[in-house]
Chains A and B, each alone.
Chain A
Amino acid sequence: MMKRFLFNPIALCLVLLGLGIGVYLSATGQFVPGMALEDRPFLVEARGKERAWRFSYAGSDGKLGTVDDWMSAGELRVPVDTDVVLRLHSEDFIYVFSCPDLNLKEIAVPDLKFTLSFKIEQEADFDLAMDPMCGFQLPPGKTMGTLIACSETSFNRWLGELSNKP
């Protein structure tokens, strides 16, 4: 069966064409393996540690929480007009994922899981504040990170530049 498929010139052409398109899109930042934007909602993991956020995007395996996740320190980028689900974790203290401009807020607590869903319709940058949780605050002017809503093309290009090293 496999042999018949491989020696079928039409099938072979289709495979090569598909690979070529994939290589092109990847090179131009328009396609990243694993980032299936057509799969809604779009999942991102936010992990609080040492008073800052780290964000993870699914890598080539299409799954979050694996070794090939793409990592972003402090910068959460999402494509506009996309349903986003943020899974919130903490590795040390209690944090609040807080974007006052968008009235977004949810907590992150070690060993517990919380999620936050949102969709941003226009391209813009937002600060991620640190809310007081019975104690620590960041000094004035400091934030825990940035939330950037951008076009899908820009998003894919940025994602392609990410490392999968934490």
Chain B
Amino acid sequence: MFSRKLVGMLCLPVLIWLTACSKPEEPASADSLNIAPLAGRPHPTVLGFVPSADLGLDDKSWVACFTSEQAALFEKILKGVHVEMLPAGSESKIQFEQATEIGDRGVLVDAYRRVRGVYEVTETRELVTDVAALDAEIVNVPADVQESAWMKVRAEDQLDSAKSIGAFHDFSFSDQSEASGIRFRHKIVDESGKRFKGVHYDHGSGMAVADVDGDERLDIYFVNQVGGNELWRNLGGGKFENITERAGVFVSDRIGVSASFADIDNDGDPDLYVTALRKGNVLFENLGGGKFRNITAGSGLGYKGHSSGAVFFDYDRDGLVDVFLANVGQYTKAETTKVTMESIRGEAETGDTYYVGFNDAFAGHLKPEREEMSRLYRNLGGKRFEDVSVAMGVEDKGWTGDAAPIDIDSDGWTDLYLPSMQGDDEVYLNKEGQRFERAGRDLFPKTPWGSMGIKAFDFENDGDLDLYITDMHSDMSEHVGPELEKGKAAMKWTASFLKTDGTSIYGNAFFRNDGSGRYEEVSDSLGAENYWPWGLSADDLNADGFDDAFVTSSMNFPLRYGVNSLLLNDGGERFRDAEFILGVEPRAEGLAVPWFELDLVGADKGAPVIEAMGLDEAALESLPDRVVVWGAMGSRSSVIFDLDDDGDLDIVTNEMNHHPMVLMSDLSEKKPDLSFLKVKLIGTKSNRSALGAVVRIVAGDLKLMKVKDGQTGYLSHSDYPLYFGLGSAKQIERLEVTWPSGTVQVVDESIALNQQVTVTETE
């Protein structure tokens, strides 16, 4: 478990021998090598292969020696270098050109791309000493992450299966986070790290997209637990700039959870609602041009509690968007404690604090005193909202983290499906905007026990909405190997804990709408199961006319890595696993990253997490005073949208304790006959964001239907145009919009393919 050699092999510093571009006459220093950017954003580089024997570093198998032009070297460092994780004793392979010659100077760079020293090649004693010091910064990598052979097996199996997939899959995604310019990094509180406990902080944070400045490009708002949320403006061409301060949407004094864009005042620009833990949710009004102001005071939306997702929809169809705020339940105490900043990540000390989680937070559903009712707010106009939860009959006290606005009974009024992360899901049917009626068990006799993410979309293009719900918590009842990931959980928890009396499904659910108001659970026959899922985003990634799904997954420290699932919709018949086929897995940066530091003789002496990592007294004896602990990577939220306006859909994630992935699709290059249409809706009688509008398109053999519900991923609600992949269609015969006002509008002029059309509601 704790072989230093193995650890070193996995977690390496990188030794770079600079050659041609080095100038011998100048004193060697980090500054003179212009490596300032290296100290900025953590970007661990995973290497490990046998060094040159000439340097006397034979026993340092984790030291990489390579040579190149200086500029090229730095470029490679900035991009990161990927090496397969190999079990102990295996012969390492490196996907990087190996050294052919050794230059006269070298730079030692650690996992965070900090330069640790510059050395003359002729005098290696100091270098060897420093390498040994780095070696002593023991890095603990979860055993399952060290042993990643299963990833290779899984990848090979999936690649073998590609030929049997009917859906178009001859394209791929590549992580362009570095090139995008996005430097946001999610940071956790200690209870997901060195003070680990099973508390709902591990649900992470969301993200959302909208065109905040009216330039027709979708910008991204990332939510953070510590260090502040950030708004990144889309510059076009896949590039972004940080405009958080300029836009006035910085929220840094509270633990951020979700973000939702919608036009609350119908003035034509998306406003922003941010939920946070206990210190109050925040409402920003968009003043135009990407400038916001905080209007929480007086808005009625400054709820303080354990808020999670916020969903805008117009339940009474009065033309103003209302909002449903999902509150989880009390999972923290009143006590606060300081967030540990990690110097290994270049973080400076701050005064950030967080509320200490209950040790038994995960049993909160057994304790009525910890219930926290979710809220339904009615938009009164004038940027003010009123809590109408009780008056409207939505008094839900389930452990709910998100919600889906969906017209479940097809009566033209948007209902609410509330996934419960610890118990039965619930449904509230909207009775013509006058009241809601609870109907969960009648319509859905069994629901996932640990529901997290939810998305309604038309899976098989039969004209009605199906429901895909991911179940995270059931997968926590038993930790299984990769071979069982596609099956339902063999629930190991007791009935006394579950408290659902036989009404639970222990895994993802896919409720197929038969068109008559009945929903059949078909997740297994559709291939919709996966492991440790959080939420999902659904859209047509291969533009074939059938919506696909991207499911963010993985539990991070102290567990093994869980793959994000990319499920290709194979003609409305079933999902096909394609994350390896399409390059989403394996990740460019490996499976794990440094997670936190422990001071074993100081503040962290005797910390429970030490035992949890399997460190007994003997192992502790052999360790230095300070160790660096690694954790598996994992995504939480995601949004699918056309980031670079090239006609295909890309994926951006918000990770846990790491920087986002910007997964750029090359579909537009690989599919010459790419056919699509983006539809931007502007409501007039209806709410301007057109939330609740239904768009139907007939194009060739395809009859497509999408609802603008704003739901773009876990803890993610966005304002964006609908995307219709049109397969091989050569023209669009019909485009029809059913507005929330009830108006049915047919666009009868000729609509060209491969563009964005704007449809404004007729008066």
Contact = CB atoms under 8 A, between A and B. Distances in A.
B362 A137 contact: no
B477 interface: yes
B515 interface: no
Interface centre among B479, B558, B611 (most CB of A within 10 A): B611
B497 A107 contact: yes
A107 B494 contact: yes
Contacts of A131: 477-478, 492-493
Contacts of B198: 93-94, 133-136
Interface in A88-130: 90, 92-94, 96, 105-107, 109-112, 114
A50 B611 CA distance: 11
A9 interface: no
Interface in A123-151: 131-140
B559 to A, nearest CB: 9
A110 B133 CA distance: 44
Nearest to A112: B366
Contact of A106 (B367, B479, B494): B494
B669 interface: no
Contacts of A157: none
Nearest to A115: B496
A74 B473 CA distance: 29
Interface in A12-70: 50-51
B494 A93 contact: no
A146 B608 CA distance: 22
Contacts of A112: 363, 366-367
Given A112-B366, A139-B614, A134 B473 contact: yes
Given A96-B494, A134-B198, A109 B612 contact: no
B360 A132 contact: no
Nearest to B358: A110
B55 interface: no
A44 to B, nearest CB: 18
A132 B476 contact: yes
Contact of B611 (A90, A94, A139, A140): A139
Contact-residue bracket for chain A: 20 to 34
Contacts of B197: 93, 135-136
B91 interface: no
A133 B611 CA distance: 16
A110 B614 contact: no
Contacts of A111: 367
B359 interface: yes
B479 A110 contact: no
A98 to B, nearest CB: 8
A105 B494 contact: yes
Contact of B496 (A90, A93, A114, A136): A114
Contacts of A50: 608
Nearest to A91: B359
Given A106-B496, A107-B494, A111-B367, A133 B362 contact: yes
B496 A135 contact: no
B749 interface: no
B196 interface: yes
Contacts of A106: 494, 496
B494 A136 contact: no
Contact of B359 (A93, A137, A140): A93
B616 interface: yes
Given A107-B496, A114-B496, A133-B198, A93 B611 contact: no
Contact of A132 (B359, B479, B611): B479
Contacts of A92: 359-360
A149 B64 CA distance: 57
Interface in B562-615: 608, 611-615
Contact of A136 (B196, B367, B493): B196
B477 to A, nearest CB: 7
A133 B198 CA distance: 7
B360 A110 contact: yes
A142 to B, nearest CB: 8
A100 B55 CA distance: 54
A135 B494 contact: no
Interface string B362-376: 110011000000000
A90 B478 CA distance: 21
Contacts of B367: 111-112
A135 B366 contact: no
A92 B361 CA distance: 11
A112 B478 CA distance: 23
Contacts of A51: 608, 611
A136 B366 contact: no
A111 B608 CA distance: 22
Contacts of A110: 359-360
Contacts of B473: 134
A94 B360 contact: yes
Given A105-B494, A106-B494, A107-B494, A139 B363 contact: no
A137 to B, nearest CB: 7
Given A93-B359, A112-B367, A137-B558, 14 more contacts: A92-B359, A96-B494, A105-B494, A109-B363, A110-B360, A111-B367, A114-B496, A132-B479, A133-B362, A133-B493, A134-B362, A135-B196, A136-B608, A137-B479
- Which 10 A-B pairs rank lowest in CB-CB distance, beginning with the nearest? A135-B198, A139-B614, A134-B198, A134-B362, A109-B363, A93-B359, A94-B360, A134-B476, A107-B497, A94-B363
23 contacts: A92-B359, A93-B197, A93-B359, A94-B359, A94-B362, A94-B363, A96-B493, A96-B494, A106-B496, A107-B363, A107-B494, A109-B366, A112-B366, A112-B367, A131-B478, A131-B492, A132-B479, A133-B198, A134-B198, A135-B202, A136-B197, A139-B611, A139-B616
Interface of A: 50-51, 90, 92-94, 96, 105-107, 109-112, 114, 131-140
